C-alpha cells in the first residue's frame, strides 16, 4: 500500500500538474489550491507523498475563505480565521488504477471553469465572449447535428412503425362485430370415471420415493447447483485521502463458481388409482330427464371424477354453424329456433359469454 500526491491545475494562471501537498498555493501566481480540481496522476506523473507525516484526516475548507487546511489546523493558513466549523473538502471517487480518466476529466472541468471565468470577465468589460473550441471548424457542429437529427428521425420512425403494428395486432385480437344467431340443437352429457389400482412407472429423488414403491432403479443425476467460493478477483484501486494525497491499495472481491449437486434419481413401480373406463349418459333435448349414468363397481374399483357438459349449436346469418358450452340453466332457456345476439371476434370466433336473447 503506497501513498502518492494528488495533482491539481491552477484555475487562475493555468499552471498544470501542481502537487496536492507540496503546492498548497500556486507557485506561479499564488492562487490557493482548489481541492475540487485535484485529480489522480498518470503513472508517469506519480510522486510519492512523505509517509512520515501522520495522517490526521481529510482537509477542511476554511469557513471564511474556503482555502483547504490540514485537518489539525487551528487557524486558516490563508486568512488566519479560526477553523472551527470547517467542512471536509470534496474527495475524488475511488478509481481503478488500471484506468487513467481522472486527469482528463479534471482537466476538462478546469478548462470549462476557465472559459466561464473568461466569459464573465469579458461580459463585465463589455467585450464579446471567446469562441467555443468545440464549435470551431466549418460546419462541423451542423454536420453532427444533422447526422444526430437524421438518426433520431430514423429511430423515431422505427419506433412509430413498431407501435402501429402492435396497436393493429391488439385491435385485431380484441375487436369484434355484432351478429344474430338461431339455436339449432342441444346436447347434454354426464360422465363418471371408474378407477382401479394399477401399477405405473414413476420417477422421484430417493428421499421422495413414496411408500409402496417397488422395483427401484436409481442413478446419479444433477439435482441442483450451488455457488461455491473459487478464490478472489483483486485489482489495484486509488483512494483519495482528502488531504492532497491518495493511497493505492488492493481491493479484492470473492469469486464464485457454480457447482453441481448430485443425488439419486429413481425409477419405480407403484400402484395408483387410474381411470379404467368412463360411464356416460347423454341426450339431445331439453325435455330429457337428465341424470347421472348408472355405475356398478366391482372389487378394487371406485368412482372418480364426475363431469357434465351442456352444448348448444347455433347458426349465424352467414349460414355457418358454431357451438357453445353453457351452464345448465342457460342451456334450458335456449329453445330451438330462438334468436340470440352475440359478438364475433376477428380472432377466436363467437364469444359464447356475450350471448343474449333477442327480445
Indicate whether 280 belongs to any domain: yes
Strands (E), the chain: 2-5, 7-8, 18-19, 60-61, 68-69, 87-88, 95-96, 176-205, 214-240, 245-283, 301-316, 321-326, 339-345, 349-357
In this structure, the answer to whether residues 202 and 147 fall within a common structural domain is: no
Contact 59, 88 (CB under 8 A): yes
Q: At residue 191, does pLDDT exceed 70? A: yes
196-221 average pLDDT score: 97
In this structure, the answer to whether residues 121 and 18 fall within a common structural domain is: yes
In this structure, the answer to whether residues 229 and 284 fall within a common structural domain is: yes
- Give the pLDDT of residue 106: 59
In this structure, the answer to whether residues 27 and 118 fall within a common structural domain is: yes
Q: At residue 302, does pLDDT exceed 90? A: yes
- Give the pLDDT of residue 141: 42
Indicate whether 181 belongs to any domain: no
Q: How far is CA 292 from the centre of its chain?
A: 54
- Give the pLDDT of residue 137: 46
In this structure, the answer to whether residues 323 and 203 fall within a common structural domain is: yes
Q: Which of 183, 357, 181 is nearest to 285 (CA)?
A: 183
In this structure, the answer to whether residues 309 and 269 fall within a common structural domain is: yes
30-38 average pLDDT score: 88
Indicate whether 132 belongs to any domain: no
- Give the pLDDT of residue 140: 40
Indicate whether 250 belongs to any domain: yes
More confident residue, 286 or 109: 286
User: What tens digit of pLDDT does each residue of 114-164 get?
Assistant: 677 667 767 766 655 555 544 444 444 443 344 455 656 676 677 777 776
Angstrom distance (rounded) from CA 305 to CA 282: 17
Angstrom distance (rounded) from CA 112 to CA 107: 8
Predicted TM-score (pTM) of this structure: 0.53
User: What tens digit of pLDDT does each residue of 237-264 get?
Assistant: 999 998 889 999 999 999 999 999 999 9
Contact 355, 176 (CB under 8 A): no
Q: If you write DSSP's letter for every residue of 173-231 in order, what string do you get?
A: HH-EEEEEEEEEEEEEEEEEEEEEEEEEEEEEEGGGPPTT-EEEEEEEEEEEEEEEEEE
Q: At residue 171, does pLDDT exceed 60? A: no
pLDDT band at 1 (very low <50, low <70, confident <90, very high): confident
In this structure, the answer to whether residues 120 and 146 fall within a common structural domain is: no
- Average pLDDT, whole number, for the chain? 85
Domain span at residue 267 reads: 187-357
313-330 average pLDDT score: 92
In this structure, the answer to whether residues 220 and 346 fall within a common structural domain is: yes
Contact 76, 64 (CB under 8 A): yes
pLDDT band at 6 (very low <50, low <70, confident <90, very high): very high
In this structure, the answer to whether residues 338 and 196 fall within a common structural domain is: yes
In this structure, the answer to whether residues 92 and 156 fall within a common structural domain is: no
In this structure, the answer to whether residues 74 and 142 fall within a common structural domain is: no
> How many domains does the chain divide into?
3
Long-range contacts of 333-336 (CB under 8 A, 24+ apart): 333/357, 334/183, 334/186, 335/183, 335/286, 336/183, 336/184, 336/185, 336/186
In this structure, the answer to whether residues 117 and 143 fall within a common structural domain is: no
Amino acid at each position: 500500500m503506497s501513498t502518492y500526491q494528488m495533482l491539481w491545475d491552477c484555475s487562475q494562471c493555468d499552471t498544470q500538474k501542481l502537487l496536492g501537498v507540496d503546492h498548497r498555493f500556486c507557485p506561479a501566481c499564488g492562487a490557493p489550491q482548489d481541492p475540487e480540481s485535484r485529480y489522480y496522476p498518470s503513472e508517469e506523473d506519480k510522486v510519492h507523498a512523505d509517509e512520515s507525516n501522520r495522517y490526521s484526516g481529510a482537509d477542511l475548507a476554511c469557513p471564511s475563505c474556503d482555502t483547504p487546511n490540514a485537518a489539525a489546523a487551528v487557524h486558516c493558513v490563508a486568512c488566519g480565521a479560526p477553523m472551527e466549523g470547517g467542512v471536509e473538502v470534496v474527495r475524488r471517487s475511488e478509481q481503478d488504477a488500471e484506468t487513467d480518466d481522472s486527469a482528463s476529466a479534471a482537466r476538462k472541468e478546469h478548462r470549462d471553469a476557465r472559459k466561464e471565468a473568461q466569459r464573465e470577465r469579458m461580459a463585465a468589460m463589455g467585450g464579446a465572449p471567446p469562441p467555443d473550441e468545440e464549435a470551431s471548424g466549418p460546419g462541423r457542429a451542423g454536420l453532427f447535428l444533422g447526422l444526430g437529427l437524421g438518426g433520431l428521425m430514423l429511430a423515431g420512425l422505427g419506433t412509430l412503425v413498431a407501435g402501429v403494428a402492435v396497436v393493429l395486432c391488439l385491435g385485431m385480437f380484441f375487436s369484434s362485430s355484432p351478429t344474430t344467431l338461431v339455436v339449432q340443437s342441444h346436447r347434454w352429457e354426464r360422465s363418471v370415471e371408474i378407477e382401479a389400482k394399477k401399477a405405473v412407472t414413476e420417477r422421484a429423488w430417493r428421499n421422495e420415493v413414496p411408500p409402496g414403491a417397488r422395483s427401484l432403479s436409481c442413478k446419479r443425476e444433477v439435482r441442483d447447483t450451488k455457488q461455491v467460493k473459487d478464490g478472489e478477483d483483486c485489482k489495484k484501486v486509488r483512494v483519495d485521502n482528502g488531504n492532497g494525497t491518495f493511497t493505492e491499495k488492493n481491493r479484492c472481491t470473492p469469486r464464485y463458481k457454480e457447482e453441481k449437486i448430485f443425488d439419486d434419481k429413481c425409477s419405480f413401480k407403484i400402484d395408483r388409482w387410474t381411470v379404467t373406463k368412463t360411464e356416460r349418459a347423454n341426450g339431445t333435448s331439453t325435455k330429457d330427464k337428465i341424470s347421472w349414468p348408472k355405475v356398478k363397481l366391482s372389487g378394487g374399483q371406485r368412482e372418480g371424477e364426475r363431469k357434465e357438459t351442456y352444448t348448444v349449436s347455433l347458426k349465424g346469418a352467414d349460414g355457418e354453424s358454431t357451438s357453445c358450452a353453457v351452464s345448465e340453466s342457460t342451456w334450458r332457456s335456449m329453445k330451438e329456433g330462438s334468436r340470440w345476439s352475440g359478438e364475433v371476434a376477428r380472432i377466436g370466433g363467437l364469444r359464447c359469454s356475450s350471448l343474449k336473447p333477442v327480445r
